[in-house]
Every structure is written in C-alpha cells, then in structure tokens.
Amino acid sequence: MRSLLRTLEHATLRDIALVCLADALVGASFGAISVSGGLPLWVPVAMSLLVFAGGSQFAAVGVVLSGGGALAAVATGLVLNARLLPFGFTVADVLDGPWWRRLLGAQLITDETAAFVLQQEGRRRRRAAFWLCGIALFTVWNVSVLLGAAAGGLIGDTDALGLDAAFPAVLLALVLPSLTDRRMRTAAVAGAVVAVAATPYLPAGLPVLLSLVGLLFAGRPRVEAERPTGGEGVSSVEKEGVR
C-alpha cells in the first residue's frame, strides 16, 4: 500500500479521498434507506460486498421496496451494471497477473476507478490509481453501508439532504479535466445528447449504455511516430521501412 501511495501525486490522493468521502455519504444513505424500508440488515450489507455498485444497489432496492420481485430487481441491476463492460476494456492493462488477482480487480471496477485510471499516464501510475482507489472505495463503501443500516431510519430522505447529488457531482469534477481535448468533448456531447433524448422512452440504465455511441463521433486518434533519443531524427516507423 505504501508503494501505491508513493507512486501517485498528492493531487490524485486528495481526489481519491474526496471520492471516498462522497461514497461514504451515499453508502450510509443506502444502508439506512434499505433498513428503514423494511429490509433486514444483512441484505444491504451482502449486496455491498457481492455487488459493489451503488447505482445498481439503489435501483434493485427501489424495485423491491416498491413491490417488485427479486427477478425484476436483479434484471434492473444487471442493466445498470452493463455499463461496466467497456470499463473493463479500459482498465484491462492494469489487471495482469494470476487469475485470482484479475478476479479481485474485476470486482473493484467502478465508475470512479475507471475515471482515475484514465487520468493517469504510464502503466505504473494507472495500476497504482486503480488498486488504491478500488481498495479504498470498497472498504469505505461497505463500512458506511453497515453503519447506515445499523442507524436504520436516522438518515431521512437523501433527496432532502442532498446526499444523492454528492456522487454525480464528484464524478463530474473528475471528468471535466478530460474535456479540454476536442475529441473527448465531441464524444461527451454526442453521448449526452443521445442519453437525454432516449431517457423518456427507455428504462433506467439503457440511456447510459446508448451514450457510448458518442465514441463514434470522436474520430480516430492521431498516432505520431516515436522519435529516437539518439538524435538521428528518424522515427522508428521509418527505420522499420528501411530494414
């Protein structure tokens, strides 16, 4: 853990701490809402350990508390969690090693861990950001859910307290620096337009998946030839052509 802390910059560690704080508030709300709605304490605790996806957990509990069945709750959670599939491709380079490490890493893939990985340059920093953020979030989320569930009805309506806004606000703050790139802005705007347009017509979760079509408008990245350090002024691609 110390090596991970030394690898990352102070600003990144601060951002991870802020995300953990926001997650703690949301996790406590989830636990309290679940128990105060009539579910036994072990349900939100088990969901947090096994599912570890705040949006899907809220959606599944909402279905159950509104009178829906277990199958409907599971289907809702699966639809929302489908967005994590492309995230898996995004962080695939940091999940090397034995199968058990890749399996553990797959459990830690979230919106936040993917966002921090995308912010880092270099495989070492990407790996450090993923594992540090993932382990910290998993710990904070599960502890806060347990405390919130134990508190029961002490935490009222999350909409009234504004806790529901903390999670998306932090994610927005993480995404904004990436929008300085024109290609990223184009993809983000196109995806947002598609998602907003589809929201009135599709179930929750599907508009987010459709927003991925915004990547089609980003265009192909420009790949520059790598220049050698020996001062010859000839790219590695050009050298391959000579050989």
According to the model, what pLDDT value does residue 77 have?
Answer: 79
Both tokens of 200, joined, read 């009135």
**Which residues of the chain fall short of a pLDDT of 70?**
1-6, 153-175, 177-178, 203-206, 208-209, 218-243
Phi, psi values for residue 162, rounded to 5°: 85, 10
Question: Of all residues in the chain, what percent carry a pLDDT higher than 70?
Answer: 74
> Which two tokens mark 102?
């890749």
pLDDT value of residue 94: 85
- For residue 236, what pLDDT is reported? 42
pTM of the predicted model, to two decimals?
0.65
Over residues 172-182, the pLDDT tens digits come to 665 676 677 78
Which pLDDT score, from 0 to 100, does residue 8 have? 74
* Predicted pLDDT at 117: 86
Amino acid at 123: R
What is the pLDDT at residue 162?
A: 61
pLDDT of residue 135: 92
H or E stretch at 141: helix 123-151
Contacts 24+ apart (CB under 8 A), 190-193: 190/214, 190/216, 190/217, 191/215
Q: Report domain extents, the chain.
A: 2-177, 181-243
Please report the pLDDT score of residue 229 as a whole number: 46
Give the pLDDT of residue 159: 59
